[in-house]
Chain A
Amino acid sequence: MNLFFQQIINGMTLGSIYGLVALGLTLVYGILHIPNFAHGALYMVGAFMTYFLMVDIGAHYWVAMAGSAIIVAIVAVLSERLVFHPLRNSPPIHDKIAAIGILLFLEALVQMIWGADFRRISSPYTGILNFDGLIIPEQRLLIIVGAFVLVAALQLFLRKTMTGATIIAMAQNRDGAFLVGIDANRVAMMTFAISGILAAFAATLYAPINLVYPAMGHVVIMKAFVIIILGGMGSIPGAIVGGMIIGFAEAFGGFYISTSYKDIIAFGLLVVILSIRPQGLFTKGAH
């Protein structure tokens, strides 16, 4: 029975990270219609920035996390200004290829600076909580709580602030947003910045129980795409729920079915769901 709860914890940990990454991706898609394949690279850069700030500068974990978020936000905004903005009228395939260009560049750049070594970030929370045999390392708890707080903060920002409202407005009715005088460029930059910040937070939360290396974004980004399709592209709750579905599917599938095939589970799930419901789980009507 404990093993069962153990998988629940594990599913929630994974789901939280996936959800955070997918959230940034879905925002950018929902508002700007860019499937940003470079998002995984932002996640990776986030982890390296935290590593840099902690190991080379000696910053505290939380300070490093904040610093990393700022830097990645800047990188994300730069990519919007320099790459996606000039491509806004091109066919969608061009966005995808340009995103891949960014991804290759960022990965090579990080590798040039830090090398390809596996690196470790240690968090100050190394304790392990033991509830009658149910083992929860503190960092995992932190991930779950952290993701919850971030999602809540994002919701507050989007619902309660004027700036946040402009982002939602742009997603819900582009023309309407123009009519009330919202500046498209501002929103685009803001959206990219938020997606970068979320990626950096996710990476920093996750890094202490994982490794930091230039190719670390690959699998995460693939799953994030699965998640936003599952949850409906552009849907915020969809990203969270989708993240949890994939997290749980992996945890339980990996445990009760097969660890080797656990990565297939996420993708297989999507294929099955889309075969039955071409518009995704949570969207109404066809896309």
Chain B
Amino acid sequence: MMFKLAALLTRPATKYVFILLALLFPLFAANEYQVYVMSLAFVWAIAVYGLNIITGYCGQLNLAHGGFFAIGAYTLGLLTSDYGWSFWPAFVAALLMTAVLGFITGVISLRLKEHYFAIFTLCVGFIIYMLLDKWEELTHGAIGVRDIAAPYGFGVVDFTDSVPFYYLVLAFLIFSIWFISRLSKSLLGRTFIAIRNGDELAQSLGINLMRNKVLAFVLSTTYAGLAGALYAGMVRFIGPEDANILHTFNLITYLLVGGIGTLFGPLVGTLSIVWLTQSLQFLETYKMILFGPLLVLLVIFFPNGLVGSLLLWMRRKAESMGVAKAPKASRVETSNSATGKEAENNA
């Protein structure tokens, strides 16, 4: 029964059902607040998809991701509020800015490996945060950026309303997922995965490591920038705290809970955690007392994330039921075994 349900979930046609559900969501949402939270969750999900490119597919744990999100948000915010740009040109500029800065950071940082890369990017993230906080002439420092333009709908729709904005974010989200699904199946995506499987192996296959890693990095920061720009257009007030390193940790948590390196993991992870924290709000200060251990348990007992574990369970089940062919969906899914630490001897 469970298996049939799960099999149904992984069928290609199911995605159209989900798109339909997402389209109809504002109709059966209890109120605008739920639409608002859903939009915010979608924005985060886009950022998580970016993280999935560099960390999930390419195997490099980037801890500056939240910083690039903030750069996207700030670029849009500052251009519209201080320099009088209108939303869409500033939006494009935000994408370009994160791509360019991502390129520079990538070229320097991707020479490092494993923990060194992670901690290096952690520092980059912190520097971004500090610069946003301290470089007052440019960023207004702690005061933050106000009066950010909302996206305009060319006279057709008003994106300052929650529901139209929801559809705008949904459109970007669907585009993001579509692009990643195409990417992950393409030669380029396979190249990234080959790098994750091992630098040496990838090189022996004639893959230019640096070029591909930098490309994956730039793609991921651009996704972060896209999410950040949407975020700025949605909340319309941003401050240096938006670059806080905790946001990066949140993004990683979403990714891990959903299933790292899977196509739908980022979405599932983001939605479940966002709604979980919203429902734990009643605990006020104490919500982390529950959330912290929950996170630990998830990591220990669902190391492949929700989506990853489901797919694995499906495969095992399929085998035990004598279904020779593994479910087709798993073709584009990845496990994280390759990013695993060197087989450690633990007596």
Q: Do A and B come into direct contact in the complex, CB within 8 Å?
A: yes
Interface residues of A (CB under 8 A from B): 29, 33, 35, 82-83, 86-94, 96-98, 100-109, 111-112, 116, 174-175, 178, 183-185, 222, 225-226, 229, 233, 260-261, 263-264, 267-268, 270-271, 274-275, 278-280, 286-287
Which residues of chain B in 75-129 are interfacial with respect to chain A, using CB atoms and an 8 Å cutoff? 108, 111-116, 118-120, 122-124, 126-127
User: Known contacts A178-B347, A222-B126, A225-B122: does B299 contact A91 (CB below 8 Å)?
Assistant: no
- Chain A interface mostly helix, strand, loop or mixed? helix
* Contact between A102 and B118, CB atoms less than 8 A apart: no
- Chain B interface mostly helix, strand, loop or mixed? helix
> Does B180 interact with chain A (Cβ within 8 Å)?
no
User: Known contacts A93-B336, A98-B299, A175-B345: does B286 contact A108 (CB below 8 Å)?
Assistant: yes
B contacts with A, residue count (CB < 8 A): 50
* Contact between B249 and A263, CB atoms less than 8 A apart: no
A-B contact pairs, 12 of them (CB 8 A): A35-B118, A82-B296, A90-B341, A93-B252, A96-B118, A98-B300, A102-B292, A102-B296, A107-B288, A109-B289, A233-B115, A271-B127
Interface string of B312-347 (1 = CB under 8 A from A): 000000000000000000000000110111011111
Return the contact of A112 from the options B126, B285, B347 (Cβ within 8 A): B285
> Does B61 interact with chain A (Cβ within 8 Å)?
yes
Interface string of B221-257 (1 = CB under 8 A from A): 0000000000000000000000001000100110010
* Complex-state Cα separation, A86 to B300, whole angstroms: 7
Nearest CB to that of B134 among chain A residues?
Answer: A260
Top 3 A-B pairs ranked by shortest CB distance?
A105-B292, A108-B288, A101-B295
Nearest CB to that of B56 among chain A residues?
Answer: A93
* Complex-state Cα separation, A287 to B260, whole angstroms: 25
* Contact between A264 and B130, CB atoms less than 8 A apart: yes
> Does B303 interact with chain A (Cβ within 8 Å)?
yes
Chain B residues near A268 (CB-CB < 8 A) = 127
> Does B18 interact with chain A (Cβ within 8 Å)?
no
User: Known contacts A91-B340, A264-B134: does B256 contact A35 (CB below 8 Å)?
Assistant: no
* Contact between B116 and A100, CB atoms less than 8 A apart: no
* Complex-state Cα separation, A271 to B286, whole angstroms: 36
Shortest B206–chain A CB gap in Å is 23
Q: Knowing that A82-B296, A108-B291, A286-B113 are A-B contacts, what are 7 other residue pairs whose CB atoms are under 8 Å apart, sorted by A's residue number?
A: A105-B292, A108-B285, A112-B285, A184-B347, A222-B245, A264-B134, A267-B127
Shortest B79–chain A CB gap in Å is 24
Shortest B251–chain A CB gap in Å is 11
Shortest B51–chain A CB gap in Å is 11
Chain A residues near B300 (CB-CB < 8 A) = 83, 86-87, 98
* Contact between A88 and B344, CB atoms less than 8 A apart: yes
> Does B52 interact with chain A (Cβ within 8 Å)?
no
Nearest CB to that of B297 among chain A residues?
Answer: A101
> Does B209 interact with chain A (Cβ within 8 Å)?
no
